[in-house]
A and B are shown apart, each in its own frame.
Chain A
Amino acid sequence: MLRYVIRRCLMMIPTLLAISFIVFVIIQLPEGDYLDSMVAEMQARGERVPVEQLEFLRAQYGLDQPFFQRYLTWISNILFRFDFGYSFAYDRPVLEIIGDRFWLTAILALGTVLFTWVVSFPIAIYSAVYKYSIGDHILTFIGFLGLATPNFLLALILLYLSQIYFGTEIGTIMAEQYIGEPMSWAKFFSILSHMWVAVVVIGTAGTAGMIRRIRANLLDELQKPYVVTARAKGLPPGKALVKYPLRLALNPFISDIGNLLPDLISGSVLVAFVLSLPTNGPILVNALLAQDMYLAGAIVMLEASLVVVGVLISDLALAALDPRIRLEGGLRR
């Protein structure tokens, strides 16, 4: 097991490096740098351009160096000093802007995964056990709608309905007294109790997909001879379901996080923007619109890392649960 854990953790390093490289390429893609557009804007307003300050900033961020050197500076700043660069639009270090919001993003993702599990578990079992019953058909159809309805449009519709019927906005994620406070348990629970709307909106698609997969898995298991044998020998139906087939069918709960997490996080960006949640989503949109690329790059980097770490955790959990995987050393994704 230990060997597997170590190998799996080591494999994460090249992935993260490659991701960081792609992110840096994206940061560098727009023509000119932020300073250029700042100068253009200042000139347009007829202000004096502070040449010395510009030169200082340029040297500080190595904007005059060749590409690879800039990448090395950027990545080593992140690795050794946890410095993600400087947001020119906010005039503050990137980390200060996204630090607190990053935790909210992570909590939101975690909450959505939990929601997906809690909802899909009973529904999937019901659908599989009562296959082709009316209930199964209705649930399958609702699941299909959930799978196909784009979540940010759902958010838009919910926002509109709440505006009309309640006259309030649903885009709050914690009680007001906690805004700007440091993270604490009280704040954490306040967030949990407020963010359910966002969680439901982001989670629908993933839940529907999860239900379909677990239902299919469980149906496969239920047809196998050992279940028939168990039933024939008089094992009560409940036990014949829970004891073996269900355990085997549950693998996607863990292994699917690798597929689920990227979708959740990318969906949460849009939903957070629509509902104006204080996560990284709205910041990312505005940073991209303003071409504040260091800030945008840091957010994309962090969200991709969140996915990588999440997949790592799910792989390790899967290996702990399923000896087939850790013994073969293979990765299931």
Chain B
Amino acid sequence: MRGKRYVDPEPFDTSEERPLTPEQERYYTASQWQLVWWRFRRHRLAVISFWFLLILYASTLVSEFLAPYALDSRNANFVHAPPQRVHLFHEGQFVGPFVYGYRFTLDLQRMQRIYVVDETDVQPLRFFCRGDGYRFWGLVEGDLHLVCPAEGGTFFLWGTDRLGRCMLSRIIYGARISLTIGLLGVAVSFVLGVTLGGIAGYFGGLIDSAIQRVIEIIRSFPVIPLWMALSAALPVTWDAIWVYFGITIILGLVDWPGLARAVRGRILAMREEDFTQAAVLMGARPARVIGRHMVPSFASHLIASVTLAIPSMILGETALSFLGLGLRPPITSWGVLLTEAQNINAVALYPWLMLPVVPVILVVLAFNFVGDGLRDAADPYG
């Protein structure tokens, strides 16, 4: 039987034998970032934390609207007023959300106001209402609030401070500063870390050892004393906004070595890879080889370590401001609010002065969870 072939002339299709299910097909054709996202979604706590942070950051866009009072509106009659509870029912009848008003007496011996809840004074809350005037982002005049006290009434959900300012409103405004300072500080440290780590890893040799020495020296400084010393050196004459930027730069300046080491290690390992060699042979400049070819292949790791660096920045700012070395009023951050809690005797009498601790801890925890989830998801092929 000459000429008889035993090979099937039909074109060979690999998927014919075991066809892919739609899910498998979706998985195999997904991009890297899609895989990272799918892997990240499996980490339940990280996803919850992610949405929590997203909502918090979104809230800083409309702080003026969310806060029931303006940042600095003083209620001279309600100094150190305790938190008011929101009720729904008055004497068995549904009234909607309302608070009971306060009466106060003066305790002349301890020089302290004593607030008594007046259960006959029903003050229904108003929603989407006109309240304290503000300048939205310092630009547009406005007075619309999500929730306001009743006409002539008060609404201090988290109490007031020594000038009778609403703690809740101040914490909402403080989020704007505390949350952004972490992002800006990380941006500074990211640029420094990637640039210097990239140079060290790519060129090696003398440059590498020089940068390595610098990193070693900066890392042997205890971070917080160094932050403190640098921010104490900021001129007293600077106005608030300059101090804000000064502090972000200081936070970033001290923090970059960790990131630089990670970048250096990755680039050192990647320098020998074929795709890098190809790029070099095709005449790409170092900045392009690093930025276009190397960084994208460990970008997910970078994002994870950056996420883990943000909470330490937020804490750094909180600590500095708490000590009186960081931001100063009129800028209001959570750390600035906590300076009121330095006096433990005041805190024992008015424990709500400690409330800014709560958002700080929650945000730090959330960033840690997100960072942890990202780190696990960063290498979706593993």
Binding site for B on A (CB under 8 A): 14-15, 18-19, 22-23, 26, 29-31, 144-145, 147-150, 152-153, 156-157, 159-160, 163-164, 169, 262-263, 265-267, 269-270, 273, 284-285, 288-289, 291, 296-297, 299-300, 303-304, 307-308, 311, 333
Kindly supply a per-residue 1/0 record for chain B positions 223-239, scoring 1 wherever the CB is within 8 Å of any chain A CB and 0 otherwise: 11110111011010000
Binding site for A on B (CB under 8 A): 213, 216-217, 219-226, 228-230, 232-233, 235, 311, 315, 318-319, 322-325, 338, 341, 344-345, 347-348, 351, 354, 357, 360-361, 364-365, 368-369
* Complex contact B344–A262 (CB within 8 A): no
Across the A-B interface, how many residue pairs have beta carbons closer than 8 Å?
126
Give the residue of B220, B228, B233 whose beta carbon is less than 8 angstroms from that of A284.
Answer: B228
B368 to nearest A CB, angstroms? 5
Residues of B within 8 A of A289 (CB): 232, 323-325
* Complex contact A288–B368 (CB within 8 A): no
* Complex contact B228–A288 (CB within 8 A): yes
A139 to nearest B CB, angstroms? 16
A145: nearest chain-B partner, CB-CB: B365
* Complex contact A147–B225 (CB within 8 A): no
A152 to nearest B CB, angstroms? 6
Docked pose: A299 CA to B224 CA in angstroms = 12
A265: nearest chain-B partner, CB-CB: B222
Q: A30-B232, A157-B354, A288-B229 are contacts. A307–B224 as well, Cβ < 8 Å?
A: no
Docked pose: A219 CA to B354 CA in angstroms = 41
Docked pose: A18 CA to B219 CA in angstroms = 12
* Complex contact B221–A19 (CB within 8 A): yes
Docked pose: A81 CA to B130 CA in angstroms = 69
Q: A144-B368, A163-B347, A270-B319 are contacts. A297–B232 as well, Cβ < 8 Å?
A: no
Residues of B within 8 A of A149 (CB): 361, 364-365
Residues of A within 8 A of B232 (CB): 30, 288-289, 291, 296
A28: nearest chain-B partner, CB-CB: B233
* Complex contact B354–A266 (CB within 8 A): no
A172 to nearest B CB, angstroms? 14
Docked pose: A281 CA to B365 CA in angstroms = 26
Give the residue of A19, A29, A304, A333 whose beta carbon is less than 8 angstroms from that of B233.
Answer: A29
Residues of B within 8 A of A269 (CB): 222, 224-225, 228
Docked pose: A152 CA to B342 CA in angstroms = 11
B362: nearest chain-A partner, CB-CB: A148
* Complex contact A153–B217 (CB within 8 A): no
Docked pose: A30 CA to B224 CA in angstroms = 18
Can you identify 8 A-B contacts, CB atoms within 8 angstroms? A15-B213, A147-B368, A148-B364, A169-B344, A262-B219, A266-B223, A288-B232, A333-B216
